[in-house]
Amino acid sequence: MNESIEARRFEDVVPVPGGGVVWAERAGSGTPVVLLHGGGMDSRLWDSVFPALARRHTAIRFDARGLGRSSLPAELYWDVADLLAALDHFGIERAALVGLSLGGETSLDFALAGRWGDRFRSRRSAARGWERPSGAALPGQRLV
């Protein structure tokens, strides 16, 4: 990272619901963009993208619970709650979400949960593993 981005770079551990922490990093300034990695990976997936993104945006990435530098889950948890904890920790009101695989599923769940529609600007995912079967209920929905 160049010097000006490095000066605006911040690493921390974020407390998450149910106990434990996720490792997170924030760099740059501008429109917030959160990078969500895939299962079996960690935030280093974004090493080549993160510095470039931080030149024009507030870039945020974190290791999902049980991966990378984050703690192992002590009980059942929801990735969406961890994403919300990271947004709140860094004071981010609204962000674009970019996810690969598990990260794409997390961004989709966040969008579909319906509680945080004002917290994301847009979402993009690649190789998202979850497909809603025809006629299946979305999170928070009930089939009649």
For 41, the token pair is 């990976």
Residue spans per domain, the chain: 3-126
68 close to 43: Cβ distance less than 8 angstroms:
yes
For residues 126 and 131, the model is more confident at 126
Structure tokens belonging to residue 22: 């996720």
Model pLDDT, residue 141: 42
pLDDT at 118 over 80: no
Closest CA to 128 of 109, 110, 103: 103
Residue 140 zone, left/alpha/beta (φ > 0; ψ -120 to 50; rest)? left
Domain 3-126 has CATH 3.40.50.1820: yes
**Residue 82 phi, psi (nearest 5):** -70, -40
pLDDT digits (tens, 9 = 90+) for 78-108: 999 999 999 999 999 999 999 999 998 898 8
Pairwise CA distance, residues 108 & 87, whole Å: 16
